[in-house]
């Protein structure tokens, strides 16, 4: 064996002994993150200014709720749902009108989109974050009367208190079929274009709402539902949500 060979072998040996190791034992466990652990002060100090800023904002009282309102309070319409849909109309319509010189016809949201109750007592910005944690924004779709009919069929099948604003009145008969549907007190005109505000999630077909397509145009208001709630709360010392007759079954 020459020196060169030996060196080559040494190089090989070096490579092989540094090569793959084999697992001999594995231990797995779950560790609790709780109050028994020390709080890392540097981390906590870093968070503090962010926390203070948010808390100051979140805990500022912006309105008052005389009762506790839940989306499960009614079968076809609820005080909280009516409040939300009407708020979207009230705050969204001026923005839409400025863009298009047109008025909204009505608002449709979804039952599942009410993410929390509004508790009796002070309403803070945090309340709005609880009810609407998502970043969804208002969009307006121009829909032919035929699409609105499809929407009322959807609402009759769903048998849930999907929030609608008060401009739409929907009555189901004893069998749950659409008995009457009016917009601004007039029956739905199949050929007319109605401007319906909703959120981008539902417009994209969320919750099985396929009736937003095809449409006669989409208008993006760049107005988050949560910000609508915050702005609406701020306008009233005390809110007054009410269950009414806008969507009922006989």
Partner 1 sequence: MKRRQFIQKSTAATVLASVGGLSLQSFSSTKTKKITILHTNDVHSHIDPFGPEDGRNANKGGVARRASLVESIRAENPNTLLLDAGDIFQGTPYFNYYGGELEFKLMSMLKYDVATIGNHDFDNGIDGLYAQIPHADFEFVSANYDFTNTVMDTHVKPYKILVKDGIKIGIFGLGVELEGLVGKDMYKETVYLDPIEKAQDMSRILREDEGCDLVICLSHLGYEYKNAPQKVSDISLAKATKDIDLIIGGHTHTFLPKPTVETNSVGKSVLVNQVGCFGLYLGRVDFYFEPGRKVKSDGASIIV
Contacts with partner 1 by CB under 8 A lie at 1, 6, 9-10, 12-14, 16-35, 37-44, 46-47, 50-51, 53-54, 57-58, 126, 129, 133-135, 200-201, 204, 226
CB of 150 to partner 1, least distance (A): 21
* 206 vs 146: CA distance, rounded Å: 20
Phi, psi of 141 (to 5 degrees): -115, 135
Q: What is the DSSP annotation of 124-171?
A: EHHHHHHH--S--EEEEEEEEHHHHHHHHHHHHHH-S---B-TTEEEE
Whichever of 117 and 178 has its CB closer to partner 1, that residue is: 117
Q: 3-class SS at 194?
A: strand
Whichever of 212 and 247 has its CB closer to partner 1, that residue is: 212
Whichever of 46 and 236 has its CB closer to partner 1, that residue is: 46
Residue with the two structure tokens 């008052």? 64
Pairing type for strands 106-107 and 193-199 reads parallel
């Amino acid at each position: 064996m020459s020196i060169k060979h030996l060196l080559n072998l040494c190089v090989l040996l070096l490579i092989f002994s540094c090569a793959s190791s084999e697992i001999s034992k594995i231990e797995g466990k779950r560790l609790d993150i709780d109050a028994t652990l020390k709080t890392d002060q540097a981390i906590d100090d870093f968070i503090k200014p962010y926390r203070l800023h948010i808390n100051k904002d979140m805990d500022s009282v912006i309105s008052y709720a005389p009762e506790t309102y839940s989306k499960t309070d009614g079968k076809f319409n609820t005080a909280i749902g009516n409040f939300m849909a009407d708020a979207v109309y009230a705050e969204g319509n001026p923005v839409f009108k400025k863009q298009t010189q047109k008025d909204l016809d009505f608002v449709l949201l979804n039952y599942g989109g009410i993410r929390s109750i509004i508790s009796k007592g002070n309403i803070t910005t945090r309340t709005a974050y609880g009810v609407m944690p998502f970043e969804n924004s208002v969009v307006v779709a121009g829909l032919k009367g035929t699409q609105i009919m499809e929407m009322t069929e959807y609402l009759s099948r769903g048998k849930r208190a999907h929030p609608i604003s008060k401009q739409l009145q929907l009555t189901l008969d004893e069998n749950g079929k659409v008995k009457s549907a009016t917009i601004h007190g007039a029956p739905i005109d199949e050929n007319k274009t109605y401007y319906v505000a909703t959120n981008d999630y539902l417009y994209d077909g969320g919750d099985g709402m396929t009736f937003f397509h095809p449409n006669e145009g989409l208008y993006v208001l760049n107005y988050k539902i949560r910000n609508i709630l915050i702005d609406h709360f701020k306008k009233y010392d005390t809110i007054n949500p009410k269950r009414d007759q806008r969507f009922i079954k006989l």
